Amino acid sequence: MNILEEIVEVKKEEVKNLKKKYSFNSFNSMEYFQSQSRSFKKTVSNQKKISIIAEVKKASPSKGIIQNNFNHIRISEAYQSAGADAISVLTDEKFFKGHLNFLSDIRKQTNIPLLRKDFLIDEYQILEAKAFGADAILLISEILSINQIKDLTDCAIENNLDVLLELHSENEISKIDFNRNDLIGINNRDLKTFEVDLTTTERVLKKIDKQITSVSESGISKRDDIEYLKSINVNAILVGEHFMRSENPADELKQFTEWCRYEN
């Protein structure tokens, strides 16, 4: 069993416990369930620059603890003040040391769109994301069937959440209806081996016929990476580990913001 399969098995157990704790209707009374969502897709579709989704990330299965002095509120406030277009919040506890409460805590302190980043396999997790303050959710095509992608996307749309659908290779393109899912994340990290190859973004984009909004994820750490992604017309980037390892994530993000602007 590889790490991705192990994570999915844990998520199945988490979903069972979630369904014991909540009913569908119980989400309605929670703090953010009826609140207006902020448009994640619109925010990351700026034509004048590559948009930046800055990630709040304490740890990963491959790297362990990334930031020892971790404070999700302080980090998110720094991201917003430094010009992040949106914030990705890791909520997985077992493998990434995140927490669902990070979402609601950060929602209270910021006014830019929030992405719940987790391994979502059930509609309950989507309702939970909305209730805790997410504006968008991540769906990972590699762990979902065609029908699951459709059903989970429909559930998100019905609850005014945007969907960032993530691919890891060209092999998953056939599973996707790009008329329905036109906000596509391309993860340059193979979730089975954790190896990173930035050209994954280019290879996948070349195979997609439809006009989409594209987000390149993982392995982005320097100006040359940004210039390369500009050359292939990427709309946005998601950066986590690089900012988390920086002595001053806000200053590093400000530098990225300069690099991401298109010259007039």
- Write down the architecture of domain 3-260 according to CATH: Alpha-Beta Barrel (3.20)
Strands 213-217 and 183-187: parallel
Contact between residue 184 and residue 213 where contact means Cβ atoms under 8 Å apart: yes
pLDDT in tens, 165-219: 999 999 999 999 999 999 999 999 876 677 899 999 999 999 998 899 999 999 9
The dihedral through the CA atoms of 167, 110, 100, 84 has a sign that is positive
Contact between residue 90 and residue 70 where contact means Cβ atoms under 8 Å apart: no
Name the residues annotated as catalytic: 55, 57, 117, 166, 187, 217-218
CA distance 204 to 169: 6
- The β-bridge partners of 189 are 196
What is the H or E stretch that residue 238 is in?
strand 236-239
- This prediction has a pTM of 0.95
Number of Cβ within 10 Å of residue 94's Cβ equals 13
Q: What is the mean pLDDT of the chain?
A: 93
